[in-house]
Chain A
Amino acid sequence: MPEIKVTPLGAGQDVGRSCILVSIGGKNIMLDCGMHMGYNDDRRFPDFSYITQNGRLTDFLDCVIISHFHLDHCGALPYMSEMVGYDGPIYMTHPTKAICPILLEDFRKITVDKKGETNFFTSQMIKDCMKKVVPLNLHQTVQVDDELELKAYYAGHVLGAAMVLIKVGSESVVYTGDYNMTPDRHLGAAWIDKCRPDILISESTYATTIRDSKRCRERDFLKKVHESIERGGKVLIPVFALGRAQELCILLETFWERMNLKAPIYFSTGLTEKANHYYKLFITWTNQKIRKTFVQRNMFEFKHIKAFDRSYADNPGPMVVFATPGMLHAGQSLQIFKKWAGNEKNMVIMPGYCVQGTIGHKILNGQRKLEMEGRSTLDVKLQVEYMSFSAHADAKGIMQLIRMAEPRNMLLVHGEALKMEFLKGKIEQEFNIDCYMPANGETITVSTNPSVPVDISLNLLKREMALGGPLPDPKKPRTMHGTLIMKENSMKLVSSEQALKELGLNEHQLRFTCRVQLQDPHSDLDTLHRIYTHLKSLLKGYTIQHVPDGTVMVESIVIKVSSSAEDPNNKVLLLSWSYQDEDLGSFLSSLLKKGLPSGLC
């Protein structure tokens, strides 16, 4: 029985470090290659020695697929390809391909330059790794080799996030990565065909949550900004150029307009150029509203939001500044933070996750005294707010996706340890499919029932039509007779005549004969006639002939009558039929063994 094997190396029952191996139709695929943000040691990367103890991964993997640019899905990629060794193709969407190296470089800088770690991947390794990337377009089928094909679907979540359908022959797997089923201010909702994969591999980080509405998150953001502005404070929002900055700008612009607020809003200039560049490139990945806006005007032509100059940071009075980078580890956001940190009227709003070792990570953990370069310390008096705008599917979203894709099996990764029994039960009850939750390193094997395609010759079909009977009903199986020819890798069903011809074989006839004894006080000829009348009355719809040479023929079955020399009343019937008419032949022999009815003339 063919089977698909799935082994999570990093994601199973463990948030972060997504990495899943799939074996399907003889192909081995790695889904995501993430790092764990909570560890500094070996545990931060997936355990690639599971694939091979020594030697390169290229021999064991047919391809690697990266679902989106978050580090917990791509952070181990240069380590895997350049340090462990993998030269095969790495698939990701265009936006992911553009943004992923920027994030990896940021991460490398923090790890190596700030924290002084050695034995880490280099800038050159990131570049070399990215050379192995093959870009994916949405809904375009990509052939990895003759048998393995991929197709990407929109996943929402972040710019460029994709779900991937992996197909070998008639077997298929869908990997969702992180996805979001509700559209927001700048991204649309995830969507997939009713592709009925053998396995749907979904994240389940939020599988046991019911999400607070997006609007309430935005409300909190506005409330915090507004409170700070009201008391004359300055608000710093460190952002990644391509994260949620655009979304938050649109939100603040609308709010300022409605509330008629006058405090200036600025964004750092690097931000606009970079963002505009990428948004122009990847406008098709955003939602319809943004696309419309973009046609009318530049993404960053706001009425209330102006470009920032470093001298503005010292201006008196309230203001809001969006600045990069998002984790406060360098650059403009860090400079502004240092200036404003000492005033409790001010506020910093962190709209996303921060890597260990960054100022952002420290203040989110409640640290109030920071050691800066040059042995100076910085007292953090300003208000620190953490807001998560990440868009993940919750319990309802997972159910929606299952309804959309109609998988035959469900596999949940990226979730919490034990306590998901209820969700498993819910999925199994509602969709009548199996649901698996493997641990790291645990392999789940799912048997598939791939259909075997067989060509049927037109002649055979025509003959079937000519035989009449009801028209084919897709809901009911129907028996057809023919000869199956297996040649090379194809199979076809043809008529036996054609098979003989094609294979250059002679046709052999196989006949059965049988004798039936009967007591009948008539002449042989009369007995034969009586048999004829008897069968004629019983077998409606069959061709029955009384041939003058002293035989009765029912289809191909021949019946002759002779009487024994001792007793003329003791008749011997000789029946003979071809192999093709075996059913009718044996029916007739057992029928005639019962004798003839007396009332016959």
Chain B
Amino acid sequence: MEDSEFEDVLDDWFIESLKTYKDLHVYQLEHPTKVIEWTSEKTVCVAGYTSSKNEILELRLPLKLLADKNKGLCAERDFKVTYGGFTEGAVCCLTHVPGTRCLVTNDGLSSDLQLWELGGDDSDVIRRTGLVQGRSLSDGGSKIAAQLSPSPQVLHGGLISDVLLTELSSGLTVYKLETQSSDRLSSLQFESEAVFLAGCTNGSVYVADTRTSAAPQLLPPPESSHESVQWWADVCAGPHLSCSRLIRLSSVGVAVVSDLRNAGTSVSRAQLDVNAQRSNPDIRVCWSPTLHDYVSVSGFGGVVEIYNVSSWSTDSQVVAESLFQHRGHAVSSNVDVSVVVTAHTWHPERPRTLMSAASDGSVHVWDWVEPHQSA
């Protein structure tokens, strides 16, 4: 693309954005990140994933974005690096342990975890404090999940058969998932204090309770016309387990919503309007923490899309159109290689604020406007 042509496309998008976004902030990191993890409602962690040395940064969101009163008087719109640290390897997975200043990372190669401490008041350095050994000898990295608990502990594993709950202070295994299956994990998360879901790449999801050693409940993979598809999952916790909804998304863009009460049956499904040719191993599907029925999807090229699942039916053939599309990463990248969104997340409290990162190192924070609300 010619420089001037590129500038024009970008200008057009920015003019359009006056109506489609309430707030829009565009940043450029030195190195791209695959993780965006909230450490508080004002701070996030990002980290590099190159094969050699990388940095973990904790960034404070700009005051202008977070201000509700006197927003106009607040000129501060930059990210502030509050803490930073150096890692020897890639960071492919990063989880903040709630209630602590502790981070747990995985390099995407082994099942071992690295532990980090975000420094105190007198230092801005993130220091490595320990190591948790994983159970798996197979390579491919681990997924990590953490939950607020009296003694900090993390759930982790690469295959469904090596999922462990480890107490951080002692390094002791306090729970082990009992299963013979050796499917690879694509997602791992707590649904409530003790109940967690482990999603496998083949689409099956295990629901287990860390308080019992009973066999986990198995949700079979959704029906699929493709054999070689991969699946990612996200669960949206309701007040009770029965209200919790699960969404599974495949590499060809089929999304299936099911509720955990009727584990086998899907509530609704849809073929998403995504470019499935452009899929990569970093597909992400996330329920909005505040807006009922809203999910966000990234990993299919340079966009992040928002869908409203309430309009979906049980008929899988229907192509669902997105409610909103964040094209910012694709539009503002002037590199020849097409840019891919590597991570995105919803703000835990602000309903329409999301943060996304792409393979060119760009990070966007955006507060979008519901299409029918715009003029």
Contacts and interface: CB of A to CB of B under 8 A. Distances in A.
Interface of A: 206, 208-213, 215-220, 222-224, 226, 254-255, 258-259, 364-366, 383-388, 394-396, 399, 418-423, 425-426, 429
B122 A418 contact: yes
B182 interface: no
A211 B123 contact: no
Contacts of A209: 78-81
Given A210-B59, A219-B24, A422-B124, A364 B79 contact: no
Given A216-B77, A425-B86, A425-B125, A210 B28 contact: yes
Interface stretch (B67-75, B171-179, B213-221, B247-255): B67-75
A212 B123 contact: no
Contacts of B74: 386
Contacts, number: 101
Nearest to B77: A212
Contacts of A420: 124
Most A Cβ at <10 Å: residue of B70, B124, B125, B126: B124
Contacts of B124: 208, 418-422
Interface of B: 10-11, 14-15, 17-18, 24-30, 53, 55, 59, 62, 70, 72-75, 77-86, 122-126, 363
Contacts of B78: 206, 209-212, 394
Q: Which of A209, A383, A394, A423 has the most CB of B within 10 A?
A: A209
Given A219-B24, A388-B75, 10 more contacts: A210-B27, A212-B78, A258-B11, A258-B15, A418-B123, A418-B124, A419-B123, A420-B124, A423-B84, A425-B125
Contact of A213 (B26, B30, B73): B26
Contacts of A394: 78
Contacts of B363: 210
Among A213, A218, A364, residue most surrounded by chain B Cβ atoms (within 10 Å): A213
Instruction: Name, among A213, A387, A422, A429, the residue most crowded by chain B CB atoms within 10 Å (CB to CB).
Output: A422
A208 B14 contact: no
Looking at B26, B59, B81, the one whose CB has the most chain A CB atoms below 10 A away is B81
B79 to A, nearest CB: 4
Contacts of A366: 70, 73
25 contacts: A206-B78, A210-B29, A210-B79, A210-B363, A212-B62, A212-B78, A216-B26, A217-B77, A219-B17, A222-B18, A223-B18, A255-B15, A258-B11, A384-B72, A386-B72, A386-B73, A418-B122, A418-B124, A419-B124, A420-B124, A421-B123, A421-B125, A422-B124, A422-B125, A423-B84
Contacts of A386: 72-75
Nearest to A223: B18
A399 B77 CA distance: 21
Give the interface centre of B24, B123, B363 by most chain A CB atoms within 10 Å. Answer: B24
Contacts of B70: 366
Given A422-B85, A426-B55, A219 B73 contact: no
Contacts of B29: 210
A365 B85 CA distance: 36
Contact of A384 (B17, B73, B86, B126): B73
B18 A213 contact: no
A-B CB proximity, top 8 nearest: A422-B84, A210-B79, A419-B124, A213-B26, A388-B75, A209-B78, A385-B72, A212-B77
Given A213-B28, A386-B72, A219 B14 contact: yes
Contact of B30 (A211, A212, A396, A419): A396
A364 B75 CA distance: 10
Contacts of A422: 81, 83-85, 124-126
A215 to B, nearest CB: 6
Contacts of A259: 15
A386 B122 CA distance: 32
Contacts of A418: 122-124
A425 B119 CA distance: 14
Point out which of B10, B25, B78 has the most chain A C-beta atoms below 10 A from its C-beta.
B78
Contact of A210 (B17, B81, B85): B81
A226 B72 contact: no
A223 B15 CA distance: 9
Contacts of A208: 80-82, 124
A216 B362 CA distance: 13
Contacts of A396: 28, 30
Nearest to B55: A426
B24 A216 contact: yes
Contacts of A206: 78
Contacts of A384: 72-73
A162 to B, nearest CB: 25
B25 A212 contact: yes
Nearest to A429: B86
Contacts of A425: 86, 125
Contacts of B62: 212
Nearest to B30: A396
A454 to B, nearest CB: 42
Contacts of A383: 72
A476 to B, nearest CB: 31
Contacts of A215: 10, 14, 26
B75 A211 contact: no
Contacts of A216: 24-26, 77
A364 B10 CA distance: 32
Contacts of A217: 77
Most chain A beta-carbon contacts within 10 A, residue among B17, B27, B53, B59:
B27
A439 to B, nearest CB: 15
Contacts of B17: 219
A517 B267 CA distance: 111
Residue from B30, B62, B126 with most neighbouring chain A CB atoms (10 Å): B30
Interface centre among A210, A217, A384, A429 (most CB of B within 10 A): A210
B157 to A, nearest CB: 32
Contacts of A213: 25-28
